[in-house]
């Protein structure tokens, strides 16, 4: 048996049109559906581009080919060669009259889920058989859009002269302290999976790089089991020298609008039943104290100095109804590297970017004074010795700088109106899921 597929002049379903009428072409993909109408049999083949209709007239094709096509199981991988015929009722305005078919891989008769979308499946079932779930049109479009979003992010920063960096994901100390870390064995020492590239991107501000960004995984050992938390996520991290928090907030809202503008006309949005609009900038800005007052007026009591609960975020989202920033946070609930406001040491130049449904990003003006940074680390109950590699960068000329981190998955789920963050990750890692 020849194991090499014999596929000549292969085209995607969407590369063929009615204008190819009479031409010999080959298609290759998965058997999506079969429809037997007696004298006429339809085989719908799915590939990355879409769907092609293969039409067999029982009296016009050899019996052996007809029987093979009728018996081939759904989701088998096939290559079919034939003649294109213009047909207005068929997908893309044509049908393929087959002359040869090669079954490249025969699927089992019982499938883990229905790829046509006619029969729904629980999310856990879909994630357990993610390879099959990705064959459904809706899921496929989510990840094509994700790819477009990541490209748009890189284009945005490249056009503005940023340098893309890659920092280590194995670290010796926590980014923000605390216990939300995954420890790993690193030869004779203990190490951790990095929570954030925060310390490293700040260190690069001392190098003179000035404007850096990274798109990479982050790891948080938090025992959340919600629709918006992951233990491995993708973060867009940015750091800029010689600027204020106001300037990086402006950069962030411009990025959000830019990403939307690169997705808004994508035809695959129709598969998600979405009519996307580019958000208007600048986004509204409210202070932490103003947020507390708005919540109080809505009957939600938050003590000043406390972080906002999920329910509080939802209430604010309903009140404001669009993207917005919360600024001027209490220093006590922000990381040690957030710069205190000069007039009030209890307030820092920190911000969160909020979608009406959830938080998307957080950032701040950073402390660039060695003495103040060391003091802040110790005030959080951490050992300055554990951060010596980081603090050393502040001894020899550190410019003022600011930056933020944006969750890619949260951006996608808010943009695409998806309820569970696991739907926008190929192979999610959460409190219960470690495979596939």
Domains of the chain, each with CATH number or no CATH: 13-105 (2.40.50.140), 131-424 (3.30.930.10)
Is cis: bond before 436, omega within 30 of 0?
Answer: yes
| Residue 188, CB-side half-sphere exposure with 13 Å CA sphere | 0
Q: What share of the chain is helix, strand, coil (3-state, %, to 5)?
A: 30, 30, 40
pLDDT for the residue 112:
96
pLDDT for the residue 91:
86
pTM, two decimal places:
0.94
β-bridge mates for residue 284, sequence order: 324
| Token representation of residue 262 | 């690169």
Distance CA 220, CA 187 (A): 22
Model pLDDT for residues 43-88, shown as the tens digit of each residue:
999 999 999 999 998 877 788 888 999 999 999 999 999 999 999 9
**421 secondary structure, DSSP code:** G
β-bridge mates for residue 44, sequence order: 33, 53
Whole-Å CA distances, 412 to 258, 356, 418: 14, 14, 8
Whole-Å CA distances, 261 to 156, 250, 280, 329, 405: 11, 17, 11, 31, 21
| Token representation of residue 124 | 């856990």
Q: How many CB atoms lie within 10 A of CB 254?
A: 14
Q: Where are the beta strands (DSSP E) in 187-231?
A: 189-193, 211-219
pLDDT for the residue 216:
98
Which residue positions in the chain have pLDDT lower than 50? 1
pLDDT for the residue 180:
83
pLDDT for the residue 343:
73
Element containing residue 275 per DSSP (H, E): none
Q: Hey, what's the torsion of the CAs at 36, 37, 41, 42, to 10 degrees?
A: -80
pLDDT for the residue 1:
46
pLDDT for the residue 178:
57
pLDDT for the residue 175:
60
H helix runs in 24-120, sequence order? 63-71
Model pLDDT for residues 215-237, shown as the tens digit of each residue:
999 999 999 889 999 999 999 99
């Amino acid at each position: 048996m020849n194991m090499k597929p014999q596929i000549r002049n292969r085209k995607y379903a969407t590369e063929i049109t009615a204008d190819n009428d009479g031409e010999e072409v080959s298609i290759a993909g998965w058997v999506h559906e079969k429809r037997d109408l007696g004298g006429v049999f339809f085989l719908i083949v799915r590939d990355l581009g879409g769907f092609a209709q293969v039409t067999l007239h029982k009296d016009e094709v050899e019996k052996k080919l007809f029987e093979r096509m009728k018996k081939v199981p759904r989701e088998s991988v096939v290559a079919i060669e034939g003649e294109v015929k213009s047909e207005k009722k068929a997908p893309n305005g044509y049908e393929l009259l087959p002359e040869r078919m090669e079954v490249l891989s025969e699927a089992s008769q019982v499938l883990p889920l229905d790829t046509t979308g006619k029969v729904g499946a629980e999310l856990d079932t879909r994630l357990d058989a993610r390879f099959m779930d990705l064959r459904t049109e809706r899921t496929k479009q989510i990840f094509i859009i994700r790819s477009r979003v990541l490209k748009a992010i890189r284009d945005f920063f490249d056009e503005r002269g940023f340098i893309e960096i890659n920092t280590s994901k194995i670290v010796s100390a926590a980014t923000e302290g605390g216990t939300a870390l995954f420890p790993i064995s690193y030869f004779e020492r203990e190490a951790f999976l990095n929570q954030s590239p925060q310390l490293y991107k700040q260190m690069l501000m001392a190098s003179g790089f000035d404007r850096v960004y990274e798109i990479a995984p982050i790891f948080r050992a938090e025992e959340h089991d919600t629709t918006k938390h992951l233990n491995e996520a993708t973060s867009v991290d940015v750091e800029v020298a010689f600027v204020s928090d106001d300037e990086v907030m402006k950069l962030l809202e411009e990025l959000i609008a830019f990403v939307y503008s690169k997705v808004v006309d994508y035809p695959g949005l129709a598969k998600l039943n979405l009519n996307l609009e580019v958000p208007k900038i600048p986004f509204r800005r409210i202070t932490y104290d103003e947020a507390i007052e708005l919540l109080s007026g809505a009957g939600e009591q938050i003590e000043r100095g406390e972080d906002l609960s999920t329910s509080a975020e939802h209430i604010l989202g309903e009140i404001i109804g669009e993207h917005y920033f919360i600024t001027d946070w209490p220093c006590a609930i922000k990381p040690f590297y957030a710069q205190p406001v000069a007039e009030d040491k209890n307030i820092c130049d920190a911000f969160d970017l909020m979608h009406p449904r959830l938080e998307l990003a957080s950032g701040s003006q950073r402390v660039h004074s060695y003495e103040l940074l060391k003091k802040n680390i110790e005030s959080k109950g951490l050992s300055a010795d554990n951060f010596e590699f980081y603090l050393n960068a502040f001894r020899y000329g550190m410019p003022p700088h600011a930056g933020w981190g944006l969750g890619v998955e949260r951006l996608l789920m808010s943009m695409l109106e998806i309820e569970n963050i696991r739907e926008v990750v190929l192979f999610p890692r959460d409190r219960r899921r470690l495979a596939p």
